[in-house]
Structure 1
Amino acid sequence: MHYLLLYLKKVFTVDCRALALMRIGIGFVLLVDLAIRTTDLEAHYSNIGVLPLHVLFQYVWDPYLISIHAISGLWQVQAILFLIAAFFAVCLILGYHTRLVTIVSWFLLLSLQNRNTLIGQGGDDLLRMLLFWAIFLPWGRFYSLDARRIINLPKSFIHFSAASVGLVVQIMLVYICTALLKNSPEWHTTGTALYNALSLDQVLFPVGKLIYPYPVLLKYLTIGTYYTELYLPFLLLIPVFNPFFRLIVIGVLAGFHLGISLTLFVGLFYLINWVSLLGLLPPVAIDWLETKLLPYFQNLGYRFKGYTSKIPLLFEVRAVWHVSPARREEVSAIKEGFVIAVLLYVIWWNFSNVPQVNHPLPPAARWPGMLLRVDQHWGMFAPEVFKDDGWYILEGITTENNHIDLNRNGLPVTEKKPESVVALFKNDRWRKYSENYLFVNNSFMRPYFCNYRLRIWNEAHRSADQIKELQIIYMMERTLPNYQPIQPQKQVLCICGTQ
């Protein structure tokens, strides 16, 4: 047991300064996410949008989900909740009452995600899990307003606990499980997965277009991606020269996500992964950052305490508990036990999804995951890449029988493929929504989106020719091997009107 504990400390110890950098990064990600979502307050979170509350509860809701965002269908109420979340995100960046702020930010995030799961993606799961593990980590000990309350900052920067194990294991699970879920030959045998991914115009960026014509390169990149995801995370478990191997993992994965961000439209997924890697930085890297890149801010935790000591705070939250040392140890043991239990549950949840195990989580065991929102699925382009691609035409028929495309700002309808399909999406939330919109089991979504787009167009063009009928058309292109030409197939998904 002693040697096991020594091993665990060698591979799962984290630097509190690295955690502080991750905290600041996550705070900024929360603000960016809120800013993007704010542009669709009415569309995605109100009763006059694409997912009214009664539809959410009838078709999407899980009985164990919690969401204060579901208390009202008014966009004004959502705006207030968004402002509250933004305030706590700023407090998280500043490290002000960090643990309390982390708990509130985590709760507000899962509440927001639960309000509309039809626009969620893998990055949302990772962001939510990073905040969950951080509740039990001392990521407010440095580079924070909380540091000014500490009379003597700890001499040791390193931290080991069940939560530090959870953080490292969580990052490993993202890559290992997505590789295990990619059990199609196109990933590890034929090497055609990246060709198929770059054939999807809905997510294709210009850099992706540059490498798309080179099948041999795409094959090597595909197989390299698969084995990188599958084996690279295990370097984190090597006890000797662990800081060196951590830096290798961080460098490779940072470059990996940079490549994804330049070639494919994946929203904030790459940014969230970058931020997660900050928490893995070993002490040698943080020491270098403090002494080389930031010479004027060496030992930032101490300096920040001094610089902010005279800054008046708007309010203070003080709570004093007189707890005996024995009681404190008992509470700490309960906390560690809870974190260990959640970690084992998360590992069970993840590996129950992979085909190599083929033992799905029993329905009776799913409720803790849904309640705490530690549920997760890393099926990015797994088990194989979608072959159905295409673009939307929102064909509006006006009262004067003109046919215009709402998706192209009212230009005449044409079935010609746009030069950039990805440019038709306002943001990645709408791209994900449009992807879910296609599935037959999500057909309930279609009339609400149709009526929403018709209504907002007519409201914005009251003095112009009004739309009396709207058709949601999908021009489907089935990806064929070896760059074979594709003939789009026209599919009318929904028709709605003003009468």
Structure 2
Amino acid sequence: MNGTRPDDTARSRVAALVGRLSTALAARVAVDRRALAAFRIGLGAVLLADLAARSRSLTAFYTDAGVLPRRALFADYAGTLSVHALVGEPWAVALVFAVAGAVALALCVGYRTRLATAASWLLLLSLHARNPMVLNAGDDLLLALLFWSLFLPLGARWSVDAVRGPDARDGREEETDLTADGDAGVSALDATETAVANVAAMAVLAQVLVMYLTNAVHKFESELWMSGEAVVYVMQADQFSYLLGDYLAAFTPLLRAFTVLWVALLFASPLLLLLTGFPRAVLASLFVGMHLGMAVTIRVGLFPVVVVVGFLPFFQTPVWDVVARVVDRLNWARGVASWRARCVSLARRLNAVDAALPRPVGAERLAALRSGGLARGRVLFTTVLPYAFLVLILLSSAASVGYAEVPDPAEDALDTVEMTQSWQMFAPDPIHTTRWIVAVGALEDGTERDVYRDAAVTFDRPDRAETTYRTSRWRKYLKNVDGADNENHRSYLANYLCGDWNRTHETDVETVTIYRGYERTNPYNGTVEAADEYELIEYDCSGEFIQNE
């Protein structure tokens, strides 16, 4: 009698189990192509906003007349590679900013999307390298999201590329092919017409999750966070609080509730990957709501906006189907059709321009060489690299909380692309001391002036410490200057203040003495627990460039 052999039965059961697990994994890492389109638009918009915000301090932070001239940059940061460091004049740096803005705009509209994504990532990497002293967690996250975007079909929907046609050199056809090859590298993680479920999609979701889990571990080590007091104390540091934060500081029970809710969300963050569909959307919306609340209560630059953009891939196909039905019901279809018609018209004009451009010498031979190694290159680019760096960021995250060690070669790879995972935002010990800068300038006429704020010298706590910082990046920079390992930067800052004052005032400053003032207040009874100021540096404006002795 013919029967089924036991080993065949076991093999079929294992195959069935693997199939179910693969299907479950694919359902959890699938990212709707419309979500990727919104993600692309958000990244482009954030890049433009970031460039605009940085431009307010372009001379101070990115030129030879600023706080980190190139001779100091190359001396303190050996091996720096930065396009922005090739020039030192304000007009030349502004030109590089303009190029970065044009590329970000191309990413936003989805023109030559993959090329625009790569160029945006490289230019942002270059910008970060030009002045590491002004970077924050939002910068790290934005760079990481752009890195993962290199492996995703961001231009497949709602883009110029999507309507340029199959003859486009960097259009929809290439995006689709690359995605298909990438999907082949993950068993059962195949991309449908609607969603993409490959290792890069998994990585972009994991990046946000890693940030929250790492930060949750750091907060778990904090008595203030675990007792529900952290946000109450953070709001006393009014160099951060603004807008609604100025009013919420008095409502301590509400702030305690926000602390408990935020800690609970951090520890519930693994559900962002375990849940699917509408349950995931509800949890993601809670995170988005908290970050939008952060945006109108504490001044932390573009970090909340970057996180909101990072959440767009978490909203899966059912959510976007609802959005599409709402658009239909609200009679917005005509507007969408009009927008698409304009995109089609623009795409046709771009195609005509592309066709008119002269082909470089040897273009046909180059195309033949590319086609020969294209399959191998695609597998490397869309599967091997994302896999490798996904493992590396997970390892780096575990190392940042003491659960693993990163081998030196892996650490070098992470450092090269600025993907080291260290998410300590307001943890383990949240900032709860108000701090401000007083830069006492002794003028040549015998008087004194605060040469940072161009105001009378006073060491009293300002009414609003937040207003004493020119921008949130200035606050971050001055915090870093106060660090024990940054003594040289105190000279750089003082030298900049000397030069900036003397360029813009008739009476020159001869010496600058920089102080750091601070005050810590009990949020429950309003009493001052500590207050003082201490000297960072006394600097002779006519002396040596570095004066740390």
Decide: shared fold, TM above 0.5: yes
Distance 1:302 1:4, change over 3 A: farther
TM-superposed CA distance for 1:298, in Å, is 5.2
Listed one character per residue, the Cα deviations across residues 200-233 of structure 1 (whole Å, up to 9, x for unaligned) are 1211114223222233332222122112112134
Instruction: Find 1:397's aligned residue among 435, 438, 442.
Output: 442
User: Which stretch shifts more, 327-336 or 81-90?
Assistant: 327-336
The yes-or-no answer on 1:96 pairing with 2:111 is yes
Listed one character per residue, the Cα deviations across residues 324-349 of structure 1 (whole Å, up to 9, x for unaligned) are 99965544332312211111111111
Counterparts of 2:28 and 2:440 in 1: how far apart (Å)? 57
Instruction: Give the corresponding residue for 1:308.
Output: 346
Listed one character per residue, the Cα deviations across residues 283-305 of structure 1 (whole Å, up to 9, x for unaligned) are 23223333423432558996565
Write the letter of the residue equivalent to 2:156.
R
Listed one character per residue, the Cα deviations across residues 40-63 of structure 1 (whole Å, up to 9, x for unaligned) are 2221112221112232233344x4
Report the secondary structure of 1:404's partner residue. strand
- 8 Å Cα contact 1:148/1:304 also seen in 2: no
- 8 Å Cα contact 1:142/1:301 also seen in 2: no
Instruction: Give the corresponding residue for 1:246.
Output: 280
Report the secondary structure of 2:296's partner residue. helix
Q: How many residues align?
A: 489
The yes-or-no answer on 1:295 pairing with 2:333 is yes
Instruction: Find 2:518's aligned residue among 476, 479, 488.
Output: 476
> CA-atom RMSD, angstroms?
2.6
Instruction: Find 1:334's aligned residue among 380, 389, 400.
Output: 380
Distance 1:436 1:460, change over 3 A: same
Instruction: Give the corresponding residue for 1:6.
Output: 23
Report the secondary structure of 1:441's partner residue. coil
The yes-or-no answer on 1:82 pairing with 2:97 is yes
Write the letter of the residue equivalent to 2:204.
L
Listed one character per residue, the Cα deviations across residues 389-414 of structure 1 (whole Å, up to 9, x for unaligned) are 321112222222222223433x3222
Report the secondary structure of 1:488's partner residue. strand
Write the letter of the residue equivalent to 1:143.
W
Instruction: Find 2:391's aligned residue among 336, 344, 357.
Output: 344
Report the secondary structure of 1:4's partner residue. helix
User: Which stretch shifts more, 146-155 or 444-453?
Assistant: 146-155
Instruction: Give the corresponding residue for 1:452.
Output: 496
- 8 Å Cα contact 1:236/1:245 also seen in 2: no
Instruction: Give the corresponding residue for 2:539.
Output: 496
Report the secondary structure of 2:349's partner residue. coil
Instruction: Give the corresponding residue for 1:131.
Output: 146
Instruction: Give the corresponding residue for 2:44.
Output: 27
Superposed counterparts of 1:212-227, under 5 Å? 212-227=249-264
Report the secondary structure of 1:475's partner residue. strand
TM-superposed CA distance for 1:249, in Å, is 2.5
Listed one character per residue, the Cα deviations across residues 148-175 of structure 1 (whole Å, up to 9, x for unaligned) are 2335998822111111011111111121
Instruction: Give the corresponding residue for 1:466.
Output: 508
Instruction: Find 2:292's aligned residue among 248, 251, 258.
Output: 258
TM-superposed CA distance for 1:178, in Å, is 1.1
Write the letter of the residue equivalent to 1:165.
M
Write the letter of the residue equivalent to 1:453.
L
User: Which stretch shifts more, 183-192 or 86-95?
Assistant: 183-192
Distance 1:457 1:302, change over 3 A: closer
Report the secondary structure of 1:263's partner residue. coil
Ranked by relative contact order (alpha carbons within 8 Å, sequence separation 6 or more), the top structure is 1
Instruction: Give the corresponding residue for 2:453.
Output: 408
Report the secondary structure of 2:477's partner residue. helix
Instruction: Find 1:146's aligned residue among 147, 156, 161.
Output: 161
Instruction: Give the corresponding residue for 1:16.
Output: 33
Report the secondary structure of 2:485's partner residue. helix
Instruction: Find 1:73's aligned residue among 88, 103, 110.
Output: 88
Distance 1:80 1:18, change over 3 A: same
Counterparts of 2:369 and 2:218 in 1: how far apart (Å)? 47
Listed one character per residue, the Cα deviations across residues 99-158 of structure 1 (whole Å, up to 9, x for unaligned) are 111111111111111111100000111111111111111110111111123359988221
Counterparts of 1:395 and 1:244 in 2: how far apart (Å)? 57
TM-score under structure 2 length normalisation: 0.83
TM-score under structure 1 length normalisation: 0.90
Instruction: Find 1:174's aligned residue among 211, 221, 232.
Output: 211
Report the secondary structure of 1:495's partner residue. strand
User: Which stretch shifts more, 5-14 or 363-372?
Assistant: 363-372
Percent sequence identity over matched residues?
Answer: 29
Counterparts of 1:366 and 1:126 in 2: how far apart (Å)? 18
Instruction: Give the corresponding residue for 2:528.
Output: 485
Which of these two proteins has the greater Rg computed from alpha carbons? Answer: 2
TM-superposed CA distance for 1:26, in Å, is 0.9
User: Which stretch shifts more, 158-167 or 397-406?
Assistant: 397-406
Report the secondary structure of 2:45's partner residue. helix
Instruction: Give the corresponding residue for 1:112.
Output: 127
Counterparts of 1:300 and 1:279 in 2: how far apart (Å)? 26
Counterparts of 1:227 and 1:438 in 2: how far apart (Å)? 33
Write the letter of the residue equivalent to 1:249.
L
Gaps of 5+ in 2: 1-17, 167-171, 177-191, 543-549
Counterparts of 1:325 and 1:364 in 2: how far apart (Å)? 32
- 8 Å Cα contact 1:474/1:492 also seen in 2: yes
Distance 1:23 1:235, change over 3 A: closer
Distance 1:306 1:47, change over 3 A: closer
Instruction: Give the corresponding residue for 2:547.
Output: none
